[in-house]
Every structure is written in structure tokens, then in C-alpha cells.
Chains A and B, each alone.
Chain A
Amino acid sequence: MSKSVPVSDKSGDCEIKQSQRKESETIQPPTVSISLADTDSVLDFAPKDDDEGSGSEFSSSRVGDNEGSEISTVPDKYGFLGGQQYKAYPDNKKLDPRTISQLLNRERKWLDMLRSWDLYMSKNYKKVRTRCRKGIPRKVRPKAWLFLCGGNLLMTSHEPGTYAEFLSREGDPKYLADIQKDIDRQFFHEMFLSRDSNSTVGGEEEKPPPGKQALVNILKAYSVVNPVVGYCQAQAPIAAFLLMHMPEEHAFWCLYSICDKYLRGYYSPGMEMIQLDGDILFNLLKKVSPHIHRLLTKQQVDPIMYMTEWFLCAFVRTLPWETLLRVWDMFLCE
């Protein structure tokens, strides 16, 4: 809870918080549950115990709540090992109860919006945009992203077995080899890491971590659907990032949409679009920050020396995790 500060106007504030806290604790779990077709992810609104932090957006996984989880075997709340994410973002401090009710409200609004998605997008896009800019609540984010980027539309406009059919086709062996080389070097995230040393049970063949095959699959499927583009190394971080949020088939349709609509031309063999965007960025820089522009020009620092990874991977490998999620909320919306 917030520290009690002995200043009169602050204490008034505190009272409000107290009353809102009560309100948030007595909220009934809404009857809606998000149905992400093949995950059993069900929204859980009700605070589980007296600890007001636990009902919040930020602590659905209690594992990560260890103060400074330096032990590399314990993933943080996003599934990362090593605890680095934690130290940089001390958000495991108790949350303001006012924020909790606000978060619950936001989640409910998002659920409403997702239920009449087409209507919102056609009649009230501004509302969608405002809400994206405020940050999509963590629990609805996977579904919201799927809807926002048009992945859902793509998925439902194709026959149900389409993705499986893509997978069953034979891919270009060159692309498949490149994909295979990259699988082990994506995120330092539990879903992509083998647990070789920790849990080998009786000499049994170790099962590959769940994320790996899915990653191979969606990258392969894309290279099959769009053989002209095939596989570009920069697609792998994006694919992996999507898989951290949604099931394989959803991630595929999102990837498809991102590669062909949002970042069209980025990954094709000539890679002209990225160079063009580099020049655009550089010209924007001239407007916004002429002295930096002058310095970079003088030192002959070409934009593609620094922005290639930022743009090609849509900042997935660049920004701190929390920031990245918020940027993607807007990236997919706008």
C-alpha cells in the first residue's frame, strides 16, 4: 500500500483510495470470459485474497513476485530468465487500489469493444485508438492484437484448415535451413529454451521446448504462403514475440498481416523499403533535431547503420519489455 504521508491534503486522498479499494474488492466476477479459441485463457477478475496487489494486472503470475529474482531458474512475470527485467522495472511494489479499479474497468471496456469489434472499427475508430494509446490491459492484449492487426479477419476469411494446409506443404529447403539455424537464437525466454541440465528424467529424450516447434512452423508457413519474400532473419524475433502472446495459429495470421500489410516490402530479397524508410527517418531527424542530423552527416553515419534492426524487428529487440508492449499496442492500431 502507499506510504501514509502525514500531510493533510494527502490524507484526504488516502481516504478516497480506501473506499475505492473496498469497491474493487467486492466487484463480482463479470460473466464474460474471453474465449481465445484454442487457449483456455479465462479472464479472472476477482481478487484472489486480501492482498490488494494480487488482483491487479501486474501479478497474474506470482512466481515473478520474488523481490529481485536473480535466480536464473525462476522466470519473471513475462517468462524471462535472469531477473534483469525485474531490476530495471520495480513494478512489484504494491499498486494503488485506485489503479486496480481503473484497470478492471479498462478490461471490461475492452471486452465490450472486442464483442462488437466491427462496429467500433467502422463507426468509432477514434475510441479504439484512444484506448490503445492508454495501453491495452494485459489480459485482453493477445486477443486485441489479433483483432487490431487484422489477423482475425484473415483467419476467419480463410477455410478453417488453411494454416494446417500451409504447414503440410513442402517449403523451400534454403529457407527451412535458415529458419532452423535461427531457432536457437531468439529470446532468452523459457518457452524457447531447452531445460537440458535441469530436468532430464531417467535418460529420457528431452522434449523440445514448446515455443521452438511453433516458431519453426509459423516461419515456414509464411515462407510457403509468400515464397517471393520467403524467410528473412528479421522475421524470427517478431514471430517469437507474437508466440509469447498467443497460440501458434493466431500468431501466424498476425505475422502474415504484419509482414504483408504493416511492414510490406521490408523483408523481400532486395530490402529496398527499409533503406527508403531509413532516409525518411533521417529527414525527420533533420526537422526534429538538426544538430544531431548535422553530426551524423558529418561523421557519415548512414541511417541503415543503426535503424535496420529497430525497424525490421519493429523494436522487438530494442525497447525494454514494458515499453515495447505499449509501443506495439499503438503500432498495430495506427
Chain B
Amino acid sequence: MPLPDKREFLYKILVIGELGAGKTSIIKRYVHQFFSPHYRATIGVDFALKVINWDQETIIRLQLWDIAGQERFGNMTRVYYKEAVGAFIVFDVTRAATFDAVLKWKQDLDAKVTLPDGNSIPCVLLANKCDQPKEGIANNQNKIDEFVKENNFSGWFETSAKDNINIDDAAKMLVQKILENDKVQANGNSRPTSEPMFSLSKDQDTKSRKNCAC
């Protein structure tokens, strides 16, 4: 059966949050279906690519940017955030302090990156390590619901990288939001959806390969 022309999208997604919240673990689980308690602390930034067969004619590539959690790397985040179209903010339900920092991360994100129309990029909150005993606000779902609404998150999920809980669903929600935004952008600016906004698109890649002497 001949396949219909497939549309391909590449989206840059940020994964941010406090040190040791489990950002790397979530990415490894999502991309490699694997968990280890011994991931090295991320220094600077790491990358991973997740390919999703979204529907019959759509392939979505998520370029996940795993960003160091320690505060002092914050000075470099402007470069890391550039042209992202979605984000996860991760906190650790066993340490209330990591939730207290969520707002700081959200504000940092909104201050440094926006969609072309000036709106903030879609962001999903992940309450990670939900397989373990919770501390503080993590016990109160209503409060988190409120918090998420107030602070303009697209939604939130309890996740566990260890037990593989909700990570796929959270990603689905984020992609859904990104696709919606894409359509809005396309209608508003008459920008064709098939031409993404960032520089690592497929044809540009092949073009540059021609120029490269290596």
C-alpha cells in the first residue's frame, strides 16, 4: 500500500526544574524505556530525540533539552531556551523545596522565550517520583490544580520515571498543545505548518551537509 505523503515536524522541548528532580530519568524513560537510579548529574545541557508516529500522516520528532538544574547554570539558560516550543517543569514530590522553585522556573522560562505571537510557550508540570511518599503540597491535588491554572500551565501530571507512570500521557498533552499553537500561528501568519520555525529542519540539514567539507 503506498503511503500518503507524511508530514514531519521537529519540536524543541525543554525539560527544566530543580537539581535532582528527575529530569534526566524522565527523558531516559521516555526515550529509551529504561530507568536507573544512577544517572550522572547533568552539567550544562544534554540532548535526546524522541520520534512519535502521531497519526497516519504525521511524524513528530521531539528534541528534548535536558537542562542542568543547579541555579548557577541559570545564566546560560537564555541560550538553551532559544526557539523552544514547549517545556516540562519537573519537581520532586518527596522534597517540597523543589515545588517552591517551580514558579521561579516558570517565570524564567516565560521571560526568556515566547512564541512568535508573544504568548508563552505551552508548559506541563510534572510531579515526579510519585511512587514514593509525598511531602507538602504534593499531597493536595486541588491545590496543585489551582496553582497550575493560576500560573498558566497547560496541565500537570503525577509521574514516575521508575514505574513508568504518566510520562507518555504528559508528552501527548504537550504535543497536542504545540500542534494547536502551530495551527493558530499558521492561520495568523499564513505560515505553512510544514515549515517549522527552527533551524534544524530536514532540508536545511541536508543543504548544510552539502556545504560541509567533512
Contacts and interface: CB of A to CB of B under 8 A. Distances in A.
Interface of A: 178, 181-182, 184-186, 188, 232-234, 236-237, 267-272, 275, 291-292, 294-295, 298-300, 302, 304-305, 308-309, 312-313, 317
Contact of B79 (A232, A233, A305, A317): A305
Interface stretch (B38-46, B137-145, B158-166, B180-188): B38-46
A185 B39 contact: yes
A186 B41 CA distance: 8
A275 B75 contact: yes
Contacts of A275: 75-76
22 contacts: A178-B70, A181-B20, A182-B20, A182-B41, A185-B39, A185-B40, A233-B41, A233-B43, A233-B70, A237-B40, A269-B71, A270-B75, A291-B214, A294-B211, A295-B212, A299-B200, A304-B76, A304-B79, A308-B76, A309-B43, A312-B43, A313-B43
A299 B44 CA distance: 19
Interface residues of B, number: 27
Name the residue among B20, B41, B80, B208 with the largest chain A CB count within 10 angstroms: B41
Nearest to A182: B41
B38 A309 contact: no
B199 interface: yes
B75 A317 contact: no
Given A181-B20, A269-B71, A308-B44, A291 B80 contact: no
B44 A309 contact: yes
Contact of B45 (A178, A232, A233, A305): A305
Given A181-B19, A188-B38, A291-B214, A232 B72 contact: yes
Task: Please provide the 10 A-B residue pairs with the shortest distance between their CB atoms, ordered closest to farther.
Answer: A308-B44, A181-B20, A309-B43, A269-B72, A291-B213, A302-B79, A309-B44, A233-B70, A233-B41, A234-B43
A239 to B, nearest CB: 12
Given A275-B76, A308-B76, A317 B40 contact: yes
